[in-house]
Structure 1
Amino acid sequence: MPVPESLSSSAQGIAVAVAIISVLALAAAYVFRRQVLAAGEGTERMQAIAGAVQSGASAYLRRQFRTLAWFAVAVLILLLALPADGWDLRAARSVAFVVGAGFSSAIGYLGMSLAVRANVRVAAAARNASGGREEGMRIAFRTGGVVGMTTVGLGLLGASVAVLAFGPDAPTVLEGFGFGAALLAMFMRVGGGIFTKAADVGADLVGKIEQGIPEDDPRNPATIADNVGDNVGDCAGMAADLFESYAVTIVAAVILGSAAIGEDGLVLPLLVPAIGAITAALGVVLVRARPGVSGLTSIQNGFYLSAVVALVGTAIACFAFLPSRFSELQGASTTIASLNGDPRLIAFAAVFLGILLAVLILFLTGHYTGTEGKPTRDVAGSSVTGAATVVLSGIGLGLESAVYTTLVIAGAVFFAFVLAGGVLALAMFLVALAGCGLLTTVGVIVAMDTFGPVSDNAQGIAEMSGDVDGEGAAVLTELDAVGNTTKAVTKGIAIATAVLAATALFGSYQDAVTNRISEVAVAIAQPSAYVTSTLADFRISTPTTLVGVLLGAAVVFLFAGLAINAVGRSAGAVVLEVRKQFADHPGIMDGTEQPDHGRVVDLCTRDALRELATPGLLAAFSPIAVGFGLGVAPLAGFLGGAIGAGVLMAVFLANAGGAWDNAKKLVEDGLHGGKGSDAHAATVIGDTVGDPFKDTAGPAINPLIKVMNLVALLVAPAVVTLTVGADANAWLRYGIALVAVVVIVAAVVSSKVRRVDMAAPTGPADPATNVDLRTDQGAGRLP
């Protein structure tokens, strides 16, 4: 495709270089994948268990993608109907939506498909007495490295190709790319989160509490579903989530950068993440277990090293690419061109701000959720007085931690405004650039996150097979503990990226509204347009804008409530099914009968796909209802309310859930009576409450606020046109809002009337998810 003449040769060269780096990142992912698959797979029993997990995870994702395909087609049609500068850009934006959604789906599927092959290899590596720890950690982290490098490669490839193909029009096209990535990630987060936590809660409540058997005991009919859920929720869902954070942040930076400083702002957001791609590969290669050094320390050292190298690379790039004065920036507005200061230093400071934010979030999340921190130990200590005090202490911890994390994120946004000297357009670009800085470490962040479920599954396979004991079991326990902390940390970082990206998109929304108003030849101050002028007032003191703030915050709470209730209903079905199998087949407990694992996998699949529609429709249609029903100013307030409530709610849910999980592990390790004690039962209850907090509702808020911002950005021109333009049509505007409200109400009502129905058919269970977990001695290690 020819390069537009309006893009200078230097900008073209940088975009081409970024595209080449993206291809090299994909090549690195392929090399890491080959290294992971070259490892041994262990015994036949271990392979059979891993095969059951692979079959269940693949079946779920295939059914999910078929379900989401119809939704994607509907959104594609709507995108073609929304205004853009010409049908060619409408078509390009729609194609970019499909590409973004496809990339998000592909990364999610890749993360899952490799993780379910790597888990058995980690378990097999642990059996090696001499180098099991080093080899197991290397395989687990390289697995995450594959997903991380693919995330970086596809994100950069999509953005750089759009810039090369469309030049100054690339921001419009990239709106579709980011929207597709965010929408699919939200669905995968919600669906995968419902699946994994329904299985986990059901397995814990019946297995640990009622039957008194371990978490991954093969007699539990939900144990295969639990391991499947780790992959479709944590691996597929988180991979898609971080990819859309990566893509949306780049999109917002490109939009704001091109508006603020012209061509330099269009290209710089590609250059900074490209440096991160190189440093991510370095970080993945250098992370390895060392004697006398904890696995968590090794991973954190790899993260810090990649961050430092990224800072050095960014400094070089900023000083080589940008001019020394604002007046020399090509395409900068008059206000920005008149600023004093060195744009090279200011751009570097913004990137540094983003990387510093990642480090601070890592520290805060580790402090509140890590097993060594006092907060989590206090939650574990509350278990001696029962489940109620465990739940109360976890809620208090989550609420408190949300304040400090939000202050850190707010501080980063504030300092970005300070760096901009009070110029709003430049400040919003610097916020987006800080997001790009934070994401220079995204390759290592994704690797850290995937490390968790791979290690967790490896320990589960070892326990179910009974083929790993002694030192090998201790190695897997260590890796699992490290993985729990890395998962919690990456959730905190994902929340920070979501807020920075949403804040930047909020600035893009304001630009879109302002530009559209300037294009319509109607004076807002006309007497007949009194109501219109009120609705176009963005001041927070305006009653309609304040109404929008309240509605935005309310949607976050409703979304979280719907997601948690969905887990509750699905978990109820799992509990009833597992109880029924234990009651109808007494031989399961003594190892003479085989539980029906496939039935539970299919139950979770059915419920997850049925439940994910309501939160998705709420996210997509609530900005449409507010925008067309109340106007662009209330929609701006809506976005602000969603960002504010979203960050607090997401951090609260993630940290409370993580603390409950690790408090349970502390008790299981012997604290306060150990396994089987009343304190253990209390922490299991806390963990089951926290499961949908940290792995369903909390993480899903990240893509939620970005989906709503992107929907608002896409519909803003249409809202302005129908409100103040020559084609103003109040009846059509209110009609669109009414349809959106009806869709939301119908979705919420249908969700509320659902009940646990054990008689509902689930369809034929995949026989591959049922494996004989008994040994040649009949019951084997089972009592």
Structure 2
Amino acid sequence: MESQLSLFYGLSFLTAALAFAFAVYLYLWVKKRRIENKKILEVSALIKEGANTFMRREYKILAIFAGVAAVVIFVLLPSPVWKGDIVQNISMTVAYILGTALSAVAGKIGILVATLSNGRAAEGAQKGIKPAFLIGFRGGAVMGLLVVGCSLLGVAAVLLIAGDATILLGFSFGASSLALFAKAGGGIFTKTADVSADLTGKVELGIPEDDPRNPAVIADNVGDNVGDVAGMGADLFDSNVAAMASALVIAQSLTGGFANISMVFCYAILGLLASIIGIATARVGKHGNPTRALNSSTYVTTAVYLVLTALATVIFEGFSWRIWGASAIGLLVGVIIGITTDYFTDDSKPIVRKVAHASGSGPAFTVLSGVSYGFISALPAMVGIAVSALVAYKLCEPMGAGYAIFGISMAAVGMLSIVGMIISNDAYGPIVDNARGLAEMGGLGEETIRTADELDSAGNTVKAVTKGFSISAAGLTVISLLGAFMSEANAALAAAGKPLITGFDIMSPTVFFGILVGAVIPAVFSAMLILGVDKNAQRMVSEIHRQFNTIKGLREGTAKPEYGKCIDIATSGALRELIPAGLMTIIATLVVGFIGGPMAIGGFLLGNIVSGLLLALFMSNSGGLWDNSKKYVEAGNEGGKGSEAHKAAVIGDTVGDPFKDTAGPSINTQITVVSLVSSLVSSLFVAFSLFG
């Protein structure tokens, strides 16, 4: 069995190298496309400079946070340095720093690729949907392949060197803590600019979305990169690492550990290979539907993964069909969740059109209908997560003690197995969103803008689908992380001679205390992020008014706006707001643990998972629904641009912007962070708690 595990270590490194090589090929393919339009070159350079400046300043702040956290981890984890094995503490600290660094690299890769691809996709739109789609998708695929390759490489290297899956929790915490702050900071930046540009441009002045006269327009395009690309890259890197880490921690504690660990790596390898095949076969016809092309690539990847993992289960010793079934259930439920999300957010489906029609009666009805359908849209995903967890649990329960939770963790691995394709689809969205703006600013004509709009609409739909997918996968991952927490807490309880945890009784006052506090944390976290957007956007709206009132010729287009002022407002505001919300969730976890002990933390995680998933799904889906309702009106329906329905739909979109791109997708990272903090600090909760 050990030789089989060694084989999978080798295959992990080989597959990661293959993904890197294919990513380099796609990068060079995109780079060969030429940009001829001087205005597009100029604006692309401004976007790239703004994005890199923000990332530089953000990473400086996060480096300070990571440095402080590394010192704390070295002193206290996995046990206080004066009590335990110093080598373990060093290993945990190095793993944490490596996870942080690779998560930062994932974000930086996203910026590099997106700023390379956006102008090329804009010019490709002049030749039709097919060339522009390929540039946007292949640009996104570079990020998808590199991020998943890095996560597989990092997890395999840490486990191979440390030889202890518990050290992986430090690696995963490094990835998730940086992702939490990067997603929050990028989300506040992007939605500050987007809300300000839409309200002043479309609603007040009646000018197009990406009109170069609007001082916020470049900040808006920068925001697409730092929020939707860099933030989401770090987020999905974290989700993939957390799913593998929780599965490996549980696998290590089971009988037949080598076979189970081999299975985790085998399925992760085959998921990356399936994503490579899906990316290589992605195509759209000359007059094809880009949404259908993106979805069909996901289905191809899913089918290839299921076939390859079934063959592996037949071939390799110790692989169980029950565990394969759990993994397959996770993936299939993920695809079904994607399809239901598509139904609620695609502008060719009835829900979006109903909200667009309601906009004709005013913005109140836009908001009311969007909120209602957003809440309804959470039902299929929540039921899907519940069903996949239940089926995976029952399927693997007969295999012995601990295998039921392992089954849930493998359902999460299965759901995230095609994450390479998911990230490719997700990064495609902001690339074509930027391309649409560049097409307008470059004066490429109405036909090109219409083509770019079609690509952008597909991007919005698929972004909503991928967010639903990643939030649902996070749900399964944190259920398995709850299992990892029980495993770590029981080891500490056994060492202290205390009774072990077999479950969490909600009638216990400490557990119920934890549930109530855990349930409110995602709501407070979301409020802090949305308030960050609100305060920042108010400052930017004032700056836009100042420029239009004081710069002569700006309204007429004979003078240039001061784009840098808006970029600076978005940057400074986002950096000021990004730390408090994330820090609040970590401090709340520690406070509950030191008051109520491991049982209270069990309740805390349960409450956090349930309310967090509901809020994340509601906000992501309602935001995507409002965005595509606006685009549906702008396409000439319900009165078209400039109508009352259009103004109402824009207001709905500005409400939805921080929902879908700031708070919603940040919540799943918040859930992962508190779960990892709980597992890492479980021994301290056992040793020091008031009522534990």
Q: TM exceeds 0.5?
A: yes
Q: Quick one: distance in 1 between partners of 2:397 and 2:98? A: 38
Is residue 337–residue 380 contact of structure 2 (8 Å, CA) maintained in 1? no
Judged with a 3 Å threshold, the aligned counterparts in structure 2 of structure 1 residues 275 and 537 are, in CA distance, closer, same or farther, namely closer
Match of 1:152 among 124, 144, 148: 148
Q: 2:467 corresponds to which residue?
A: 491
User: Is 1:539 aligned to 2:538, yes or no?
Assistant: no
Match of 1:268 among 263, 281, 303: 263
Judged with a 3 Å threshold, the aligned counterparts in structure 2 of structure 1 residues 319 and 166 are, in CA distance, closer, same or farther, namely farther
Judged with a 3 Å threshold, the aligned counterparts in structure 2 of structure 1 residues 80 and 59 are, in CA distance, closer, same or farther, namely same
Q: 1:72 corresponds to which residue?
A: 66
Deviation at 1:473, TM superposition (A): 2.8
Q: 1:298 corresponds to which residue?
A: 293
Alignment of 1:350-499 (within 5 A): 350-421=326-397, 425-466=402-443, 468-499=444-475
Deviation at 1:536, TM superposition (A): 9.9
Is residue 40–residue 125 contact of structure 1 (8 Å, CA) maintained in 2? no
Cα deviation, 1:273-321, whole Å, max 9, x if unaligned, reads 1101111111111112213431111111111111101111111112222
Q: 1:753 corresponds to which residue?
A: none
Q: Quick one: distance in 1 between partners of 2:625 and 2:129? A: 26
Deviation at 1:212, TM superposition (A): 0.7
Is residue 129–residue 288 contact of structure 2 (8 Å, CA) maintained in 1? no
User: Is 1:561 aligned to 2:566, yes or no?
Assistant: no
Q: 1:117 corresponds to which residue?
A: 116
Judged with a 3 Å threshold, the aligned counterparts in structure 2 of structure 1 residues 579 and 618 are, in CA distance, closer, same or farther, namely same
- One-letter code aligned to 1:692: P
Deviation at 1:456, TM superposition (A): 0.7
Is residue 326–residue 396 contact of structure 2 (8 Å, CA) maintained in 1? no
Aligned length: 685
Cα deviation, 1:103-133, whole Å, max 9, x if unaligned, reads 11111111112101100001112223xxx42
- One-letter code aligned to 2:421: V
Q: Quick one: distance in 2 between partners of 1:590 and 1:57? A: 28
Q: 1:747 corresponds to which residue?
A: none
Alignment of 1:500-519 (within 5 A): 500-519=476-495
Cα deviation, 1:718-773, whole Å, max 9, x if unaligned, reads 111235xxxxxx6xx99xxxxxxxxxxxxxxxxxxxxxxxxxxxxxxxxxxxxxxx
Deviation at 1:219, TM superposition (A): 0.4
Is residue 259–residue 317 contact of structure 2 (8 Å, CA) maintained in 1? yes
Deviation at 1:691, TM superposition (A): 0.4
Aligned residue for 2:212, secondary structure, equals: coil
Cα deviation, 1:11-32, whole Å, max 9, x if unaligned, reads 1122111121112211211111
Deviation at 1:344, TM superposition (A): 2.0
Match of 1:141 among 137, 143, 157: 137
Output the TM-score relative to the length of structure 2: 0.97
Q: Quick one: distance in 2 between partners of 1:358 and 1:238? A: 18
Is residue 633–residue 639 contact of structure 2 (8 Å, CA) maintained in 1? yes
Match of 1:349 among 319, 325, 333: 325
Q: 1:312 corresponds to which residue?
A: 307
Is residue 82–residue 714 contact of structure 1 (8 Å, CA) maintained in 2? no
Deviation at 1:403, TM superposition (A): 2.0
Q: Quick one: distance in 2 between partners of 1:185 and 1:265? A: 28
Q: 2:246 corresponds to which residue?
A: 252
Aligned residue for 2:35, secondary structure, equals: coil
User: Is 1:205 aligned to 2:182, yes or no?
Assistant: no
Q: Quick one: distance in 2 between partners of 1:397 and 1:300? A: 22
Q: Quick one: distance in 2 between partners of 1:321 and 1:694? A: 42
Cα deviation, 1:424-476, whole Å, max 9, x if unaligned, reads 6111111111111112211111010011110010110010121x125433321
Alignment of 1:589-600 (within 5 A): 589-600=555-566
Cα deviation, 1:564-609, whole Å, max 9, x if unaligned, reads 1111001111111101111112410111211000000000000000
Match of 1:654 among 620, 630, 639: 620
Q: Quick one: distance in 1 between partners of 2:6 and 2:621? A: 44
Aligned residue for 1:219, secondary structure, equals: coil
Q: 2:602 corresponds to which residue?
A: 636
Deviation at 1:629, TM superposition (A): 1.7
Q: Quick one: distance in 2 between partners of 1:428 and 1:444? A: 27
Aligned residue for 1:197, secondary structure, equals: helix
Q: 1:240 corresponds to which residue?
A: 234
Q: Quick one: distance in 2 between partners of 1:586 and 1:317? A: 69
Is residue 125–residue 131 contact of structure 2 (8 Å, CA) maintained in 1? yes
Deviation at 1:82, TM superposition (A): 2.2
Is residue 77–residue 92 contact of structure 2 (8 Å, CA) maintained in 1? no
Q: Quick one: distance in 2 between partners of 1:52 and 1:607? A: 20
Name the % identity.
38
Q: 1:177 corresponds to which residue?
A: 171
Q: Quick one: distance in 1 between partners of 2:492 and 2:498? A: 13
Q: Quick one: distance in 1 between partners of 2:287 and 2:378? A: 34
Query: 605-614 vs 582-591, which deviates more?
Result: 582-591
Q: 1:99 corresponds to which residue?
A: 98
Q: Quick one: distance in 2 between partners of 1:354 and 1:440? A: 9
Q: Quick one: distance in 1 between partners of 2:503 and 2:95? A: 33
Is residue 275–residue 418 contact of structure 2 (8 Å, CA) maintained in 1? yes
Deviation at 1:74, TM superposition (A): 1.0
User: Is 1:28 aligned to 2:22, yes or no?
Assistant: yes
Is residue 628–residue 719 contact of structure 1 (8 Å, CA) maintained in 2? yes
Deviation at 1:627, TM superposition (A): 0.5
Q: Quick one: distance in 1 between partners of 2:337 and 2:506? A: 30
Q: Quick one: distance in 1 between partners of 2:219 and 2:456? A: 18
- One-letter code aligned to 1:440: S
Q: Quick one: distance in 2 between partners of 1:537 and 1:722? A: 21
Cα deviation, 1:678-731, whole Å, max 9, x if unaligned, reads 1111111111001000000000001000000000000001111235xxxxxx6x
Aligned residue for 2:285, secondary structure, equals: coil
Cα deviation, 1:484-543, whole Å, max 9, x if unaligned, reads 1111111101101111111110100011111111112x456xxxxxxxx9x998311101
- One-letter code aligned to 2:158: A
- One-letter code aligned to 1:583: N
Q: 1:280 corresponds to which residue?
A: 275
Deviation at 1:628, TM superposition (A): 1.0
Judged with a 3 Å threshold, the aligned counterparts in structure 2 of structure 1 residues 372 and 537 are, in CA distance, closer, same or farther, namely closer
Match of 2:657 among 673, 691, 695: 691
Q: Quick one: distance in 2 between partners of 1:16 and 1:537? A: 38
Query: 344-353 vs 209-218, which deviates more?
Result: 344-353
- One-letter code aligned to 1:552: G
Deviation at 1:404, TM superposition (A): 2.2
Deviation at 1:263, TM superposition (A): 1.4
Q: 1:161 corresponds to which residue?
A: 157
Q: Quick one: distance in 2 between partners of 1:420 and 1:13? A: 25
- One-letter code aligned to 2:417: T
Q: 1:223 corresponds to which residue?
A: 217
Structure 2 gaps, min length 5:
79-83
Structure 1 gaps, min length 5:
1-6, 324-342, 525-532, 724-729, 735-783
Q: Quick one: distance in 2 between partners of 1:537 and 1:258? A: 20
Deviation at 1:383, TM superposition (A): 0.7
Q: 1:669 corresponds to which residue?
A: 635
